[in-house]
Chain A
Amino acid sequence: MFHWLEKHPFFFAVGVFVVIAFAGLIEILPNFAQASRPVIGTTPYSTLELTGRHVYIKNSCNACHSQLIRPFKSETDRYGHYSLSGEYAYDRPFLWGSKRTGPDLMRVGNYRTTDWHENHMKDPSAVVPGSIMPGYPWLFTNKADVDTAYAEQLTVAQFFSVPYNKPVPMKDGSTKTVKMGNSVAEANALALAEAKVIAADMKDQDVKDAVARGEIPEIVALIAYMNSLK
C-alpha cells in the first residue's frame, strides 16, 4: 500500500490529510457547545473595559502575564479561586498566556486599586522593588480607541448573541445589565462616563485634564479592564 501511495501523490496527500485531521475532529468538536456557556455572574465587557482589553492586547501583556489560575493550593492562595470555564465565555480572544514572567492577573481586580495601577504602570520597580517589568509611560498620553471596541461589541452581540442591553443573572440573585450604545457617539459617551469614575481616583493631572476634555488616555481604559478582572 505504501509503495502504491508513494507513486500517487493525490491519494498520498488525501491519506496524510485524513490522518492529521482525525485528532482535531475527535478532540475539538465534541465540547464546543458546552464550554462556552457563561457561569452565573459573568458579564460582557463594558465599552471602556473592552477598550482597555485592546490596550492589554496591543501591548502584549499576555506575553508575561497569565489569566489562568490552576487548581493548586499554592495558586488559589496567591491569586484566588481557580478558573472556571464559563468565566471566559465572553473572552475573544482568550488571554491565558503561556508564561508567567509576572504574576497571574485573572482576579487582579480583587486586590489591586486604580491608584496602585497608576503608579505601577509608570514605574513598576518604584512600586515593587526588584521588578523587571518595564514602565509604560506612553499609556498616559496615547488616546484609547473606543470606536474599535464599540465595533467589536456590535459584532459579538450580532454574531454570538453576547447579551448587551439585557439583564444577566448575578450570584446574589439580582441581575445586571451591561449597556451598549446605539451609536458611536453614545458608545463614546458611555465610555467617558466610566472613564470619569476611574480618573477621579487617579493623580496624574494630564490624565485628569484629558478626561475632563472628553478624551480617554489608554491608561484609563486599561485600568478599567484590570479592575473588571475578578
Chain B
Amino acid sequence: MENRPLEYDYTVAKMFMFTTIVLGIVGMLVGVILAFELAFPSVNTFLGSGLAEFTNFSRLRPLHTDAVIFGFTLSGIFATWYYVGQRVLKVSMAESGFLMFIGKLHFVLYVIGVAAVVVSLLAGVTTSKEYAEFEWPIDIAIVIVWVLFGMSIFGLIGIRREKALYISVWYYIATFLGVAMLYLFNNMAIPTMLAASPIGESGIGAWYHSVSMYAGTNDALVQWWYGHNAVAFGFTVPIVAMIYYFLPKESGQAIYSYKLSLLSFWGLMFVYLWAGGHHLLFSTVPDWMQTMGSIFSVVLILPSWGSAINMLLTMKGEWQQVAASPLIKFMILGSTFYMFSTLEGPIQAIKSVNAIAHFTDWIVGHVHDGVLGWVGFMIMAALYHMAPRVFKREIYSKSLMATQFWIQTLGVVLYFTSMWIAGITQGMMWRAHDEFGNLAYSFIDTVTVLHPYYTIRGIGGLLYLIGFLMFAYNIYKTMTAGRKVEESELQNASPMGA
C-alpha cells in the first residue's frame, strides 16, 4: 500500500454546507424582520396588507425558530458530520457506494422536508408546540431523515479503520440518540382523519391534522422535556462535537485533558435531561419536578464548563494564535459565550430569579447569546476551516473574516444587553404594587417602555445578519476565486488570503 494520506470524499458535506448558508440567511433574515415588527408594528405589513396574514409576527415566529434550529444548525451538524466523521474514523465515503447513496438520499429528503416545513408554517399548519410545530406527515419525513443520518453515522463507524472513537464521535452519537428519543415521544399524536362519526362518516376535515396524545400539564411536561433538550442535543452536544475536532485541528494543539472530556461528556448526558423542568417553574407541574429542574440546571454548570475550560486550556501557551487568526477568535469567543450562556441559564432557573425572568425578553436574550455567540460562531468557524480542505482553495479574505467577527460580536452584545434590560424592566414592572397594594402599571405600560430596547435588539440582529452575509460571500469567493492550495499547505492553520 502506498504511504499517502486517505483522500476523503466531501460530496455530501458540500451539499450540507450549502444549505447551512442558505437556511442561515433565511432564518436570520426572518429573525431581523420579527425584531423590527416588535419595535415598529407597521413592519407587520411590509409586503402590503393583502399578504399580512403571512408576514405578521405570529405567523413568522415559528418559521424563524425552526429555520435556525432545523435549517441552519441541523445543516451545520450534518455538514460537519460528513466532514469530521470520515476523518476521525479514517475511512472515506467513497469506499462505500451504499453510504454515499444514503448520504445523498439524506440530503435530498432533508431539502424536501425543509420545503414542506416552510410551506406548512406559512399556511398556519402547526401543532403549536415550540420547535415541534410540524404535523404528522412532516414528522414522519423527519423521522426518515433522522434514520438516514443514523445509518450514515453507524455505517461509517462500521467500516472504520481507527478503532477508538474520537470524542467528537461520542457527541454525534449522542445527538442522534437524544433527538430520536425526544422527538418521537413529544410528537406522539393521533391523526384526526382516523375518527369516524356515529353515522359512519370518516376522513373528516383536514387530513394532516392530529391531536396530541398528552393533555394539559402532561403535554407541557413532555413538551419542555423535549424543548429544553432539543436545545441540549441540537445546540450543545453537536456543537461541542465540532469544537472538539476543529479547535485542535486549526490550532495544532492537543486537547488539554482527556479525563475532563470524559467527565464533561458523561456528566452532560446524565444531567441535561433533568433540567427541562426549569421551563415550568410556578406552573401546575408538581413542585418536586420544578425543584429537580432548578437543582439539575445548576449542576449542569459543571459538565458545561468542563468542556469549555477544556477548550480554553487547549490554547495554553498558544494564545498568540487568538490574536493572529480570526478563525481561532470565532472558536474561542464561541467557547466563552458557551460558558457565559451556561452560567446565565442556571441563574434563570433559580426559582426566585425565574419569577421575574419567565415570560420576559431576558429568556429571549439568553437563547440568543447562546445561539448567536456559541452555535453560530462555532458553525461558521467549522465551515471556514472546512472550506480550504473541501474546495482545495485558500479562504478568500482574512480581513473580511476579521471584520465580520467584530461586527457580529458587536451585534451579539447589543442583542443580549438590550434584552436583559428589557426583560428585567418588564418583569419588575409586572409585579410592582403601589402604596395601596394595587398593581402599579397596566400591561400596556410594560410594553411601551420596551420600545428603545426592541430597537437596539433589532440593530444587533441586523449587524449579525450583515456579518453572516459577509461570511456567505467569503465562502462563495473561496469556492470560485480563492487561490488554489497544495496539500502541504493544509496542515493546521487554514490558509487565508489577505
Contacts and interface: CB of A to CB of B under 8 A. Distances in A.
A2 B438 CA distance: 60
A175 interface: no
Contacts of B196: 154
B195 A151 contact: yes
A148 B209 contact: yes
A138 B277 CA distance: 37
B352 to A, nearest CB: 11
A60 B447 contact: no
The 9 closest A-B pairs by CB, nearest first: A88-B216, A148-B205, A23-B273, A154-B195, A85-B284, A58-B124, A134-B44, A151-B192, A147-B205
Contacts of B49: 137
16 contacts: A16-B170, A19-B266, A20-B177, A22-B273, A27-B221, A31-B218, A31-B289, A58-B125, A60-B62, A71-B282, A77-B433, A98-B130, A102-B443, A132-B41, A134-B58, A183-B197
B253 interface: no
Given A7-B163, A31-B289, A77-B438, A155 B359 contact: no
A66 interface: yes
B439 A64 contact: no
Contacts of B214: 36, 92-93
A145 B205 contact: yes
Contact of B53 (A23, A86, A138, A156): A138
A36 B220 contact: no
Interface of A: 2-3, 6-7, 9, 12-13, 16-17, 19-24, 27-28, 31-32, 35-36, 57-64, 66, 68, 70-75, 77-78, 83-103, 125, 128-138, 145, 147-152, 154-156, 158-160, 181-184, 187
Nearest to B62: A60
B438 to A, nearest CB: 7
* Chain B interface size, under 10 / 10 to 19 / 20 to 34 / 35 or more: 35 or more
A130 B215 CA distance: 36
A134 B216 contact: no
Contact of A6 (B59, B61, B165, B274): B165
Contact of B199 (A13, A148, A183): A183
B498 interface: no
A159 B128 contact: no
Nearest to B289: A27
Contacts of A94: 215-217, 219-220, 223
Contact of B439 (A77, A89, A150): A77
Contacts of B431: 72, 74
A155 B181 contact: no
Contacts of A158: 195
Contacts of A150: 197, 204-205
A93 B359 CA distance: 19
B283 A70 contact: yes
Contact of A138 (B52, B185, B219, B284): B52
A85 to B, nearest CB: 4
Contacts of B192: 148, 151-152, 154-155
Contacts of B198: 182-183
A74 B432 CA distance: 7
A131 B446 CA distance: 10
A158 B274 CA distance: 34
Q: Is the interface of A mostly helix, strand, loop or mixed?
A: helix
B98 interface: no
Contacts of B126: 57-58, 60
A152 B211 contact: yes
B37 interface: yes
A98 B358 CA distance: 8
A99 B227 CA distance: 14
B312 interface: no
Contact of B286 (A31, A58, A101): A31
B181 A17 contact: yes
B211 A92 contact: yes
Contacts of B273: 20-24
Given A70-B282, A158-B195, 8 more contacts: A9-B165, A13-B154, A24-B185, A36-B218, A68-B283, A88-B219, A138-B53, A151-B193
B205 A149 contact: yes
Contacts of A62: 128
Contacts of A184: 197, 201, 204
B337 interface: no
Contact of A63 (B61, B216, B274, B430): B61
B128 A36 contact: no
A36 B59 contact: no
Contacts of A134: 37, 41, 44-45, 52, 56-58
Interface in B15-65: 37-38, 41, 44-45, 49, 52-53, 56-59, 61-62
Contact of B217 (A17, A88, A128, A183): A88
B397 interface: no
Nearest to B127: A93
A155 B211 contact: yes
A184 B212 CA distance: 22
B54 to A, nearest CB: 10
Interface string B172-211: 0110011001000100001011111111010011100101
Contacts of B37: 134
A72 B276 CA distance: 22
A226 B364 CA distance: 27
Interface string B437-457: 011000110011000000000
A145 B360 contact: no
Contact of B447 (A83, A91, A130, A145): A130
Contacts of B101: none
Nearest to B426: A100
B216 A155 contact: no
B109 interface: no
Given A7-B164, A7-B165, A183-B201, A21 B181 contact: yes
B267 to A, nearest CB: 10
Contacts of B128: 57, 60, 62, 93, 95
